[in-house]
Structures are given as structure tokens and as C-alpha cells.
Chain A
Amino acid sequence: MDTFDLYSLMERDHVLLAFKGSITSDLLTSVLQIMESKMDDLNDAPKTKRRVFNVLVECLQNLYHHIDDFQIEGEPMEVALKKSAIFSISRTEESYNIITGNFIHQTNVGSVTDKIDFINSLSKDELKQHYKKMLSNGEMSEKGGGGLGFIDIAKKSGEKLIYKIREIDPNYSFFTLTVKISKN
């Protein structure tokens, strides 16, 4: 793709920040800092800023944690490719949109989509109750996730979560998540 085409596409979609590559803790610290200062310059309500920041933290940390979910076999180049992820944050008149994309193993596709489908089936009030239930049941993954990430993202976004699964090869699919946060 021509660089100017990429630029135009990002301009059209009001992209504030986009990244493709491996997700490290230091990268997340930098991205969050950049986004915070960008949002300070924009005149959005404090509530919007807080929600965007919260959702962004959860989305990016999802990427960070789940990239280690699978032991990738194969050539080093292949491994690096599958561990790589993409995200973008865009801002229109009405909303912020956070998009993330990463490879997931075919065996995990069902559990991820089931989880999101379930969350999407809940009303606002049911979502609150579900969050409280998952918080108090005390279970926690080794990485400290605790299964609250998607629930919290859905709560703060106030919209249904949009996802797409695209099969890449017999072992992997590409998982795309789009989260919208309205500005009002």
C-alpha cells in the first residue's frame, strides 16, 4: 500500500493513534501517556476521558496478556508475526473508537466469542450484577485477569462489543474487537 493511501485512510477514520507490533509493558505505559496528554488537549467531558482511558487500559492489557496465551511453534519469524498485534484509537464528533486485533489459537475462539456473546446478551443492570458476581467469586487467573476485562469494557462503553473472527490458517484466527465510547 502507498503510504499516502494509508495516511488518507487514517485521516478519514479520524485516527488519533495507531500501532502494529509486539505489545510490551513499556509500550503500554507510553501509549497511555500519549493518549492522556492528547485527551487533555481535546475538550471532551472528564467523564468521557475517564471512560476512554479505562477502556483503553483494559483493551491494551487484554492484548498484552493474551499474546502469551499460546506457545507458538515454528520459525522465529512466524512466531514474531503471530505475537504481533494491532490497535488504533480514533475520535469522531460523537464517539471514540478503540479497535484491537490479535491472533488467537483456533482452540480459544469458542471461549472468547461465547464470553462476548454472553456479555452482549445482558442488559445494563444485568451487566452490573454480573460484574459484581465475577468480582466476588474470588477466582483469578495466574496473570491476574480474573475474567473481568470484557465485562468492564462493556460496562464503561455502554454499547455492545463488536468482534470479528477471520481464519488465517488451520491453527490461527485473527480476532478483531471494536469498542465504541459515546461522548455524551
Chain B
Amino acid sequence: MDDLKIEGSAKTPTVEFNSKGDLHLKGRSIPENSIEFYKPLIDWIGNYSQNSNSDTVLNVQLEYFNTSSSKCILDVFKKLEAISGSNVNIKWHYEEDDEDMLEAGEDYEAIIDLPFEMIEVEEI
């Protein structure tokens, strides 16, 4: 299957999902219409789940995200949670001192049944 690559913009993150199970979501996610932006990501994971790698890692490195994106990001996690036959891990990155972003990651961790690793970085 094809990799999914979307270049980031002022309001949308860079997306790099490859079929080897190495998934990256990086930048800022503050579009007015997040459903439209996230649909191809959700669809891609749906296809990937048909023939997934034994290990899948989603790296989330977001500087900002709006509440509209927060539901879509949850949908991405739910889609990953539904994959059988792959060990899925989430690596949630947050900038040092950004306790709001850490807390957001912990909220997802409490809702989603997947292992989350919280990684503090100097700058996203």
C-alpha cells in the first residue's frame, strides 16, 4: 500500500504514515474543519489494518491542537486500537514546561487502551 504524506501548513500538521508501521504526526493542528483534514488519515489506518506490520508506532509531536482536532485525534487512536495483529504504541511528545500538552496526552491514555509513552523534548 502507498505511504501517506501530507506537508504541514500554518494550521495543519505534517503527516508521514508508512506501511512499515512508522507513523508521524507533527506540527500544529488548528484547522477550522478538522474532520476534512483527518479523514484521509483515518482511511489510511483502516487500509493499513488489513495488512499491518507486527509493530506499529505513532509518534505524535504537536505544538498546538484545537478542540476540533482533539476529537479527530481520538478517532485516529481508536482506529489504531482496533488493529488486531500488531503491537501498537503511541509516543506522545511534549515540550518541557508544557504541562497542558502532557495532560492532553494523559487524557488520551486514560480513554484509549494502548500503551502511551510520554516523551519530554526541548522543542517541537
Contact = CB atoms under 8 A, between A and B. Distances in A.
A156 B33 CA distance: 22
Interface residues of A, number: 32
Contacts of B107: 131-132, 135
A46 interface: yes
A65 B31 CA distance: 12
A57 B64 contact: yes
A33 B10 CA distance: 8
Given A140-B71, A144-B71, A57 B66 contact: yes
Contacts of B70: 135, 146, 148, 152
Instruction: Specify the main secondary structure of chain A where it touches its partner.
Output: helix
Instruction: Specify the main secondary structure of chain B where it touches its partner.
Output: helix
B6 interface: no
Interface residues of B, number: 24
B98 A47 contact: yes
A58 B66 CA distance: 7
A50 B11 contact: no
B64 A50 contact: yes
Interface string A106-147: 000000000000000000000010011001101010011110
A27 B83 CA distance: 40
30 contacts: A25-B32, A29-B10, A32-B10, A33-B10, A50-B64, A50-B98, A53-B64, A54-B64, A54-B100, A57-B64, A58-B67, A61-B30, A61-B32, A61-B66, A65-B32, A136-B74, A138-B74, A140-B35, A143-B68, A144-B33, A144-B68, A144-B72, A146-B67, A146-B68, A146-B70, A146-B71, A148-B70, A151-B67, A152-B67, A152-B70
Interface of B: 10-11, 30, 32-35, 64, 66-68, 70-72, 74, 95, 97-100, 103, 107, 110-111
